[in-house]
Amino acid sequence: MDFAEQMLSRNRVWAHETARRDPALFGRMRQGQRPAILWIGCSDSRVPAEIVTGAAPGDLFVHRNVANLFLPHDDNSMSVLEYAVRVLEVSDIVVCGHYGCGGVRAALEGTTGGMPHVERRIGALRELVRREREVLAAIPGIEERANWLAELSTVEQARTLNQMPLVRDAVSRPRVHAWIFDIRSGFIRRLASSGDSSLGINAQRPAANDHRETTSVWTI
């Protein structure tokens, strides 16, 4: 049995088990969706939103792309935001980056291996690399530089979202959060949240392997 067939078999097991645990779930799903959170994450197969957060079907409205970028000129990104805010009226928007991101690493190292679509996609990341070249040069080690850039880019996407008229002028304005997922441990760490004064710009940056809920240098 090939992997695609295995997935279909696993789906049948999942559907039966899910119906056994929560007999009313699929009935609720037929009535429509009311997720509380718009999740913007990376397409990386190691960061599945529902699994790493323990979410159930219907909890998250998910948009994933290379390097978890939000691009206002991209109809894909904007249509997701528009529907999430105006129709679903989500209370929160989460941008979740991750350490070990291939898109971030490609922007940092300057090569995409001859993939023009990826190259265009990570153009905004390359701009960040140019803008922060002095800071990046002072960080020892390519992995640490890539992890710092992953954090910065995630916060930048959250800042952009927080300033979008769709978000700013919403009847019930959603809070915007920047999170980072550590693929080495499975923990998610909060980087910043809109309107949260506890996330001060002058605080000491936690080490990448510090999984405690701590104050961050980042601010939205």
What residues form the annotated binding site for Zn(2+)?
A: 42, 44, 98, 101
**Residue 98: exposure state from Cβ atoms within 10 A (0-12, 13-18, ≥19):** buried
Would you call 96 a catalytic residue per the annotation? no
Would you call 44 a catalytic residue per the annotation? yes
Would you call 46 a catalytic residue per the annotation? yes
220 close to 155: Cβ distance less than 8 angstroms: yes
**Residue 151: exposure state from Cβ atoms within 10 A (0-12, 13-18, ≥19):** buried
Choose the catalytic residue: 63, 98, 177, 189.
98
Q: In the beta sheet, which residues pair with residue 37?
A: 60, 92
Choose the catalytic residue: 10, 16, 28, 46.
46
The secondary structure element, H or E, covering residue 139 is: none
CA 169 to each of CA 84, 158, 195: distance values in angstroms, whole numbers, following the listed order:
14, 16, 15
Q: Tokens at residue 188, please?
A: 């998610």
Q: Which residues are catalytic?
A: 42, 44, 46, 98, 101
